[in-house]
Amino acid sequence: MSENRGLLEHLSPALMGYLLSFLPQLDPLAESVPGGLLTPELVERLREDNFCGYALARFPGEERGWLAFYRGRLLEAWRQTTYGHLSGTVAYRALQRELGQGTLSLYRLQPDDLPPVVALTQGSLRITAVAASSVVVTDLLDSLVQEQFTGTLVLEDGLVGRAWFFTRGKHLFGGELPSHFREGHLHLVQAPSKAPPDLLEQARQEDLEQRAIRLNVVWNAAQEVLREYMGRGAPLALERLRNIHTTEDPATLEKALRRWMTESLEPNAATLFNRLLRPTL
């Protein structure tokens, strides 16, 4: 995971969600459809279509979330919560779990539009909480053009704010900048120098790792039960069970072993098995 966390630790979840209103919504693929439509099949279709853009999720209570896609790869996920932010694979899983309670909109962007958007959560800070009134806007813009800056400028003014997005020094969207700032604080966050890893691949790898951990826990619990009820015959019985039950699904394995213990040993064996598994649930 990147060490750079953009503005996650500097802006409130509500303000970060509000900044999403400054992203363009001119080329919708879908608008305000039931959030439950964001199925793994739809995400896979977006990958196959090399979709560039973002998915905006709206939940009751004005909470927001988004997914950023670059040529079909999922670069970022973010979920607003009451007390903080979720990002990365944690946010992706939360959105998948909770989108049935909200609505979903999909908007296309150009490939160059994505880096400054991702900067919000994965960029490196250049300016943090500088008094906006002390900044000369024309000098700041000249500097951004000269260095071919890619990232986002955010004005934080209490509970509201503004965001302006740049790629290689070119102002993309977020409306015109004012001639000067009267109040508030400015944050300038630079986009990552290279594309972040695909979150979908990360999530799949995490799933494989968690499955392997859980399978190991299940077999260790079975081994303890066999030692308790079969003594010296436990290793041979365990080997026989491993040859019979080759499933890679932990839930299926648990069910099969529980049934075998009840039928071949005694109900109390299954009770011990359950107790050994419980701490990891």
Per residue in 28-59, pLDDT tens? Answer: 999 989 988 888 888 888 888 999 999 999 99
Token pair belonging to 207:
């799933």
Look at residue 37 and tell me if it is in a domain: yes
Residues 186 and 212 in one domain: no
Half-sphere exposure of 12 (CA within 13 A, CB side): 12
pLDDT at 1 (0 to 100): 40
- Please compute the mean of the pLDDT values over residues 85-102 and round it to a whole number: 90
pLDDT for residue 268 is more than 80: yes
Domain boundary among 190, 216, 243: 190
Look at residue 98 and tell me if it is in a domain: yes
Q: If you count DSSP H runs as helices and E runs as strands, how many of each does the chain have, helices first?
A: 9, 11
Token pair belonging to 234:
């436990």
Residues 125 and 221 in one domain: no
Look at residue 206 and tell me if it is in a domain: yes
Domain boundary among 155, 190, 225: 190
Query: Which of left, alpha, beta for 68 (phi over 0: left; psi -120 to 50: alpha)?
Result: beta
User: For the chain, how many structural domains are there in total?
Assistant: 2
Residues 207 and 131 in one domain: no
- Please compute the mean of the pLDDT values over residues 78-92 and round it to a whole number: 90
Residues 40 and 85 in one domain: yes
Q: Is residue 155 classed exposed, middle or buried when 0-12, 13-18 and 19+ CB atoms within 10 A define those classes? A: buried
Look at residue 2 and tell me if it is in a domain: no
- Cα-to-chain-centroid distance, residue 48: 20
Residues 174 and 97 in one domain: yes
The model's pTM: 0.79
Residues 159 and 203 in one domain: no
| Residue with token string 């069910």 | 255
- Cα-to-chain-centroid distance, residue 32: 21
pLDDT digits (tens, 9 = 90+) for 114-140: 999 999 999 999 999 999 999 999 999
pLDDT for residue 280 is more than 60: no
The beta strand positions in 109-252, using DSSP E, are 124-131, 151-157, 160-167, 170-173, 185-190
Q: How far apart are CA 250 and CA 64, in angstroms?
A: 34
Residues 175 and 222 in one domain: no
pLDDT at 279 (0 to 100): 64
Range of the domain at 250: 199-280
Residues 224 and 175 in one domain: no
Q: How far apart are CA 119 and CA 152, in angstroms?
A: 7
